[in-house]
Amino acid sequence: MNIVLKNFSYLAILQLVNVVAPLLIYPVIINRVGVNQFGNVILAQSAIYYLTIFVNYGLNIYGTKLISGINSKVGSYNEVFNNIFYFKLFVSIMISALVILSWGLIESINIIYVFSLGIVFGDLLLPIWFYQGIERMKYITIISSLSKIIYIALVYFYVQDESDGYLLASFLSISLLVGGVLSMIIAMRKYGVIIGKPNLHGVYAIGVNGFPYFGAMFTRDSYIRATPILIGLVAGSSILAYYDFANKCVSAYKSILSAVSQAAFPYIIRTQNYSKVMYVLLCGLLVSIVFYCLSVIISSELLEFFFNEVNTQAIVIFRIALIAVLFITISNLCSQLVLIPLGKGNLFFYISAITCIVYFALIWTLYLFDVINGKSIIWVSVFVEFFLAFCYLYMAISMKVLRRKNDN
């Protein structure tokens, strides 16, 4: 369990750095480029992040599972590492070509989208699944922290006014690429990973066997990442900037939650010990309630600090979006610590697929009745988090995994 606790600590720091670092530079960005231009950059980056669903392909779960089952002898990771790397490389090239070809053909796609493509290759080069599988997350933590420092420094010294929106996208890409290259170097030098010639059969096997995990993550991430895009297109860049801030606060909570599930995941895969899942779930629910209440209480002060203004619309958006934390705890822990370790990848996929259908059906209903706006889209995203949590909890209870705690 000691290594689980160590990896939890590293993952918690990693997740917090990923969330807190952008928040630290938020006031500077808002003051210099303005809410509208920042919203435009967020829209472009959200679109690129949506495409990284295909690059990731659920491999942060499936890849971790493969690596964690390998003997730790130096060099033994090469086959799996190479297969995953070349699969992600192929998808990254396809996505980049699509964006570049669309630039100039689609009016809404501008240079900011092209400069944001570093996000795609940053995901390719940063093998979180590898370090998670070998339970050595300290390297990713250090590299990610360094990457965020680079981003903050570049933004602080070089972004000066509204015309520098493209620099925001470029600097994020640069920082992610630097982090990715460093993580690859460590994997090669310390763990003997060698990038050799691609094994087409192995690459194909990754695509086939990883599909249920991709399907689950796609159906889940597609509606999560579609929300900011829809808000930006329907409600405008200012509303998107307010939502993005609220979403980053939700992500701050999810960072700790993800650290718990990701650190415990390899341990549960090896031991099949589910006795502590109910305890972790109840503690997580308590923390989520406290987090939400505190965030609502200080919402006005937070918005005034980060945006230099307080308006009713921003406060309402912030408070609605934060309701999601109450349900994310259940869905995250039940899926990552129960369904996946039990080999219920297909069930994980079906639940996520149904949730995705519900989300887009509700969005389409809003459109048909002409009531689609920023707030209604956010309410839909909160509802589907509730729906997803209910489904995962029901399945976990039906498998009697959570009941084991009561039987002991």
Mean pLDDT of 182-196: 89
DSSP H stretches of helix in 210-236? 211-235
Q: Would you say 243 and 230 are in contact if contact means Cβ atoms under 8 Å apart?
A: no
* DSSP-derived 3-state class of residue 356: helix
Comparing 278 with 119, which gets the higher pLDDT? 119
Tell me, yes or no, whether 47 lies in a domain: yes
Final residue in a domain of this structure, among 161, 177, 209: 209
- Per the structure, the complete domain to which residue 187 belongs is given by 1-209
Residues 204 and 300 in one domain: no
Residues 355 and 314 in one domain: yes
pLDDT at 345: 62
Reported as a single tens digit per residue, the pLDDT across 116-156 is: 999 999 999 999 889 888 878 778 878 888 898 899 999 99
Final residue in a domain of this structure, among 209, 240, 256: 209
Burial pattern 98-126, b for ≥16 Cβ within 10 A else e, equals ebeeeeeeeeebeebbbbbbbbbbbbbbb
Band (329; pLDDT cuts 50, 70, 90): confident
Residues 203 and 252 in one domain: no
Q: Would you say 338 and 396 are in contact if contact means Cβ atoms under 8 Å apart?
A: yes
Residues 6 or more apart whose CB falls under 8 angstroms from that of 81 comprise 67, 127, 130, 187, 193, 195
Tell me, yes or no, whether 220 lies in a domain: no
Alpha-carbon span 240 to 231, nearest angstrom: 6
Tell me, yes or no, whether 215 lies in a domain: no
Neighbours of 290 (CB within 10 A): 10
Residue 406 has pLDDT above 60, yes or no: no
- To the nearest whole number, what is the mean pLDDT of the chain? 84
Band (407; pLDDT cuts 50, 70, 90): very low
Residue with tokens 């997350």: 137
Closest CA to 55 of 137, 122, 140: 122
In the chain, how many domains are there?
2
CA end-to-end span of the chain, whole Å? 20
- % of the chain surpassing 90 pLDDT: 34
Tell me, yes or no, whether 214 lies in a domain: no
Residues 318 and 174 in one domain: no
Whether the model pTM is above 0.85: no
pLDDT at 16: 67
Mean pLDDT of 40-47: 90
pLDDT at 259: 67
Band (78; pLDDT cuts 50, 70, 90): confident
pLDDT at 222: 85
Residue 202 has pLDDT above 80, yes or no: yes
Residues 6 or more apart whose CB falls under 8 angstroms from that of 264 comprise 4, 8, 280, 337
Residues 238 and 183 in one domain: no
Tell me, yes or no, whether 128 lies in a domain: yes
DSSP H stretches of helix in 192-276? 200-209, 211-235, 237-271
